[in-house]
Amino acid sequence: MGDENYLLNYGFEISYRNKNLFGYIIQFDYSYLYSGIDDVLKFVRTGEGSPDPIGVFYSDVSLSLNTLDISVNGKLGNIFSYGFGPSFSIVNRSVIIEYSDFVDRLASFNIGIIGLIDMRIPFSKATDYWYFYSGLKFRYLHGLFYDEELRDLDDYNQNFITGNFSIGIGYNF
């Protein structure tokens, strides 16, 4: 990736929160995140036997994460809550060099931990109600298994630290 980082990931998240599962508030979140960087690495072509450049080409990189988070949540007053728990993710990384039709794809399974804080503001005082949702989630993932194919990945590792800000509408039933 050179000096580039995946600073912005776009995607979505779907959550289910159970108010009393074995005496705890348990939340299940599935999220899909995608990020791509065009022209991330520059390659200079030189002529045979000459150090002088005769052209350039670039590589594109993309990263997608399919993640399941499970958290045990607690309340911080009426509208705020927090949670901690494990995270499991399938990560797909692609490096594409169109000049030479080169494509390198790597799939991996990652496990980690999450911490979250969120806010839910109800639109009514009914038992079943719609609410405004906003949340901040921090996640650490570590790669465990890689789709090596013909590559030797003994010294390779993946680690991700992400912060996700979410806003949306929810329904309590």
Domain residue spans of the chain = 10-42+50-172
Q: How confident is the model at residue 146 (pLDDT cuts 50, 70, 90)?
A: confident
DSSP single-letter state for residue 100: G
Which amino acid is it at 167?
Answer: I
Instruction: Give the distance from CA 152 to its chain's centroid.
Output: 25
Give residue 170's region: left, alpha or beta (phi > 0; psi -120 to 50): beta
Q: pTM for the full model? A: 0.81
Residue 1 pLDDT class (50, 70, 90 cuts): very low
Mean pLDDT of 23-34: 91
DSSP 8-state secondary structure symbol assigned to residue 7 = -
pLDDT at 152 over 80: no
- Helix, strand, coil shares of the chain, percent, nearest 5, are 0, 75, 25
Tell me phi and psi for residue 128, to 5 degrees.
Answer: -100, 125
Mean pLDDT across 41-45: 82
